Structure formats: C-alpha cells, structure tokens
Amino acid sequence: MMNETAIKEIESLTINGHLKKDVRGIEWVRKGEMVPLVPVHEPTVKVSTLASFSDFIINNPQKLNLEGAIVLINSDFTIDLLSAPSEVDKERTILLRAKAYEFEPFRFSYSYDLESFIVALKTKFVMGEDWEVVFNLVRKVQISEGVELEDDGMSQKVTVKNGVSAASITKKDVKTDYVLTPIRIFPECSQPSSIFFLRIKGDKESGVVVSLHETDGGKWKVDAAKNVAEYIRPLIPGGLQIYY
C-alpha cells in the first residue's frame, strides 16, 4: 500500500488528466486511483506452423525492432518471439507466438476399449518397429472363450473356435515395455520417442481394455524442446538466441 505522501506526489504528476512520468520514467494515469501505465505483453501476432513463425521473423512485415529479441520455447510447446526488456518494467513483450493446430492427444494411463485403442494407435502415433509389435498384438486378442477378434487395420474378422479345448490353445509371453512415438508437438518436427508400459485387461462381460503408461518421468518434454529448437534454429536469423 502507498502512503498518503506517495499518493500526493503521483497525483501532482498529472495535470488535467494528462499522463506524467515519475523520476523512474514510469507513466501514471488515473483509473479511479492512480495506477502505472505499463506496456502490453500479450502476443500481437499468432501463427500455427513453424514455417510461418520463421517467415515472419525473416520478413519482419511489421518492421519490429528485433534488437535484443529472443525465442522462447514454453513448457506447453508454444513458441514466443520476445522483444528486448522494456525500460519501464523490464518485462519482454510477446511479438509473435506459434501454437500448433488443436490436436487431441493420446490419453495415457487411460483404459481404451479395443476398437478405440486401435484407432488411436493408427492416428496419434508415428509408425515404427515397436508400434508394429503393439499393433499386431492388440489387433488379435481373445475376447471370450472360443471367440477371437482379428483386425488387420483394413477389415475385421471374428472366428468362433467350436470344439477347441483350452489345452490346445498356445499361450505366448509378450513384453510389456515398448518404445513408441506419439504425436505431441508441431507435426513438422521429429516427435520424441519414449518407453511405455502396455496393459491389456478384460473379461467376457466387460470386454477387452488396453492402456499405455508413461515411464520416462517427463524426459520426453526435454527431448521435444530440443527437437523444436533444432528444427527452427536454421530457419531464423543467427543473432536470435533460443531458450527452453
């Protein structure tokens, strides 16, 4: 709280409602009470691709002063072009922000029904060696006695095995940890891979549910930020530093 003397000093800086600066160079204005007028630090331009982000910086259509500017990769993987610190409050203004198009990510530690899991695996991951193993494993699972569901990604087939005894069914041990590459950042970049724990559960009444669980403690976020930085570094002027 400002004391009465300080309030009077600030009020004396204004004449007929006009802005005045104090000795620190901060402008004050009356809005019910005297408040400092500080720069706006919200983004002025928003784009959805890294190509547009780099093109804007190179072409600089708004003739912005980029001296002292930096590029910041945020924890949510939006990317900001920040001005040099303001002389008034030492904060940086967001000149430009890149945010990828809205994309519903895979839900980890969530139990998908078999069909939903297969669709999510096909649409929210980059295909790879372990991806094929997981896909081939879940597309053919036994959902009840004598009934086997098989899905090759193009069509489905249900086989009823009448007269087959339990002893004649071969059980195969499969690993539970897989290196997978979900799509989690700008699609132009290399997506970070990490190890996931696969769980398949179910019974005749409720059917089969499948879930994937993250095991890297969030290390993928560090890898993701590096991937974004490596992608944009050759595309922007060399004088701009990248931080994450």
> In this predicted model, what pLDDT tens digit does every residue of 138-152 receive, in sequence order?
887 765 554 454 444
pTM of the full structure: 0.68
Structure tokens at 128: 């790879």
- How is residue 34 written in tokens? 């005297």
Q: Which residue has the higher pLDDT, 119 or 9?
A: 119
DSSP label at residue 142? E
121 Rama class: left (phi>0) / alpha (psi -120 to 50) / beta: alpha
134: part of which helix (H) or strand (E)? Answer: helix 129-138
Which segment of 30-34, 44-48, 50-54 scores lowest on mean pLDDT? 30-34
Per the model's pLDDT, the better-predicted residue between 222 and 28 turns out to be: 222
Give CA–CA dist 234/230, Å, rounded: 8
Quote the pLDDT of residue 164.
Answer: 37
- What number is the average pLDDT over the span 33-42? 60
Quote the distance between the C-alpha of residue 218 and its chain's center: 12
Label residue 159 by pLDDT band (50, 70, 90). Answer: very low
